[in-house]
Structure 1
Amino acid sequence: MDSQRENYETIVSGISKISETAYLIRIQYPWAWQPGDVTGIKLLEHEPPRLYSIAGSDNKNEITLLFTEKPDGLLTPRLSEVKKGDTIFASKPFGKFRPGSLNSWWICNGTGIAPFRGVWMNEEVHNITLLHGVRNSDDKYFNEEINSQHEIKYTACLSRENSGKDFHGRITKYLAAKGHFPVDTNFYLCGSTEMIVEVRDLLISKGIPFTNIYTEIYF
């Protein structure tokens, strides 16, 4: 991110803990944004911001951000302790990742699901396949929301826990076992660098054109 991008004071509207380490924070946000946009967040005016994908909103004057608290993180241990009414700093929205809302595959791991929530909360979706790679069922963020979206075919890939209901294994294991992919479909990948590289290479090996694959590294 451009270190000179301007940040503005804004107010925390609320924060909730949704898993052992994950939080949803709502902040006042007066700027128009598109699904896939990110914003820079910081708590002190003179510290560098961290980037977060906008995870949708049901209020045009707010946005929601998803993050996991990392004990050695530069921001998240402090961000997890903010309260409603606190002041933080946010940048105007920006980004080039634009997940399709029609006839698309969304593939993500961890908090990489955030930009896709921005799509299903704010656009009409149709014929979406969503793969979400997580360690345990506790990390299936927005599970109830997704299940209420009848146009989203959802598969959670659990790398550690064998829940008996979800796919047991990493996203790449699930994809490797799949025989056929529609070559006229776009694939949108968001998550860790390792996942994106492995999934992109696997899709290409199965005949998906490189130009049909769009990626966003973890935000």
Structure 2
Amino acid sequence: MTTMIGYLRVSTEEQANSGLGLDAQRESIERYADAHGWAVAWYVDEGLSAKSLARPQLQAALTRLHVLPKRRDVDGIVVAKLDRLSRSVHDFSGILKLANARKWAVVAIDLGVDTSTPTGKLVANVMMSVAEWEREVIGERTSAAMQAAKRQGKHMGRVSALPQSTGDRLLALRATHTLAKTASQLNAEGLTTATSKSWSANCVAKVEMRLRDRRRVDSASLQTGG
């Protein structure tokens, strides 16, 4: 029998309103699962936004899914609405790439994305293509801005194109893996560096340092109201 991870999420504001949305999400997933003959293993993040994939229960779900297919006890992840999983097209695209690499399904009921079906795969591929197009456009604009700044004698640091989903996955792996094992796992999952190269232990260390520095700055900014 197919077993899917049913992922539920509410933000702090939604949680303050008596957990608004959890029951509706669960009911929607249960109806979909019943129609497809699925069993559901529930994971719930309460009081957390979808700005980042660094959520305890989501990371636990992804870790469970990353087990090799023959040893895995679940077949994919299902959400009632895409924004419960991610509000970022790039992050969602990253999740789809992980799913494709590890052969598990992603289902967002509200958008008709169900990669266990041919139609759902088509919808997912369109979304990934749009995400890639958006990334290339942003890259072109960034490159043009840097060239303009260079002509004006200004110095601009390199802007990382590493998807947030990849950064979140790297940090999650580093919580339990060595640098070398983290690099190996990222490569096994089909994730690349910002320059589309394979990971090495040294590269993981450098990116991890930048990510943690950036998060410390972001955290300090929020605390001071900046």
Q: Does TM, normalized by the shorter one, top 0.5?
A: no
Bigger Rg, which one:
2
Richer in helix (by share): 2
- TM-score under structure 1 length normalisation: 0.30
Comparing both chains, which one has the higher relative contact order based on Cα–Cα distances under 8 Å and sequence gaps of 6 or more? 1
- TM-score under structure 2 length normalisation: 0.29
Richer in strand (by share): 1
